[in-house]
Amino acid sequence: MEALFLEIRGRAAECKDYQVCSIFIGGGTPSILSGEQIERMFTLIRENYALTADAEITIEVNPGTVDAEKLHIYRDVGVNRLSIGLQSANEKELRTLGRIHTWQQFLDTYELARAAGFDNLNVDLMSALPGQTVVSYLESLQQVLALRPEHISAYSLIVEEGTPFHTAYEQGQLELPDEDTERKMYRDTEKYLLEQGYYRYEISNYALPGRECRHNAGYWTGREYLGLGLGAASLMREVRFQNGADIQRYIKNPLEQREGVQQLSVAEQMEETMYLGLRMTKGVSVEAFEQRYGVSMEKIYGPVIQKNIKDGLLRYGTEYESEDAMGQKSAGTPYLALTKLGLDLSNYVMAQFLLG
């Protein structure tokens, strides 16, 4: 933490021309930090960076790692959004995932958060877990919906190489739902959430109107961000870089950690604008693309766009002209967006926008 505090102070000079509109304290379990550590962190942030009056400030919490006192400290330092990592309401599925909390601990944490005055809560939910059925998944989804969080992140398990899950999968010890079952979970998520007033604004994220996560949307729309801490990634002035992941090296000198520095070419910037922006259900603004690059989207990507429109995977529409946006209509500037089928095949579509 002392190294992190040093980095917070040391990076401020690079950001003197910026205002901070969102902060996200995440990765691992930041709620394990003491209230005093959180207070000191935010004192340093406010002393060294210019925050907008309405900055969205999120901290991730794992159930069972916070109490009423700590939640009140979060409120006092300006945190106005919590992201709670539930994953499943099913005790057996939680054990399979190696989670240390129970459904009851999640409920206790959720109720404490509401009692502390938090009115913007996200709940993480996972599908396609080992041994999970459509019935058990929908039970988890319905139990979460009964609580009416403002935001739900619903994503399927990805078995990453180098993890115990991957080893078990390779050895045939991991019973994952088949493709049809996973697809039904995916479809049912959208159906039930839409019925309950949540709209899908990004591939894996659903929100009540006006409760979209500003910070996460920033990643998909090319907003600059500064990552602080071990292994944290950044995008500043069209340069991507990240801190190293060796904790001893970080503690020794947190300001000498940058690696993987990549100056993005204009072509790479265009690629990112498209394949990240298409994660948003409203899509990519045609006008904003041309204003930024001085050339039309059709000039660069015409054949790819027309092919995918013909295949029913892309469409032109205005910002809120989608079935996910609760029937809202807008006569704004056109956006290029994925269709319902395109959302299902998003990786296939996005890969076609790589210019290399």
Kindly report, residue by residue over 178-224, the tens digit of the pLDDT: 889 999 999 999 999 999 999 999 999 999 999 999 999 999 999 99
pLDDT of residue 295: 97
* Token pair in block for residue 46: 């406010």
Pick from 38, 2, 11: nearest CA to 250: 2
CATH class of domain segment(s) 19-212: alpha beta
For 176, which DSSP code? Answer: P
Q: Look at strands 233-236 and 205-207 and give their pairing.
A: unpaired
pLDDT tens figures, 129-165:
988 999 999 999 999 999 999 999 999 887 777 777 7
pLDDT of residue 332: 59
* 95-99, 114-118, 256-260, range with greatest mean pLDDT: 114-118
Torsion angle of the four alpha carbons 327, 333, 335, 340, in this order, in degrees rounded to the nearest 10 = 10
Please determine, for residue 63, whether its predicted confidence score (pLDDT) is greater than 60: yes
The model's confidence at residue 296, banded by pLDDT at 50, 70 and 90, is very high
Q: Where along the chain do its domains lie? A: 19-212, 279-356
Please determine, for residue 327, whether its predicted confidence score (pLDDT) is greater than 50: no
For 275, which DSSP code? Answer: H
d(CA 200, CA 193): 8
pLDDT mean across residues, the chain:
92
Q: What is the CA radius of gyration of the chain?
A: 21
Q: How far is CA 356 from CA 267, 274, 338, 353, in A?
A: 8, 14, 22, 9
For residues 1-5, give the mean pLDDT.
97
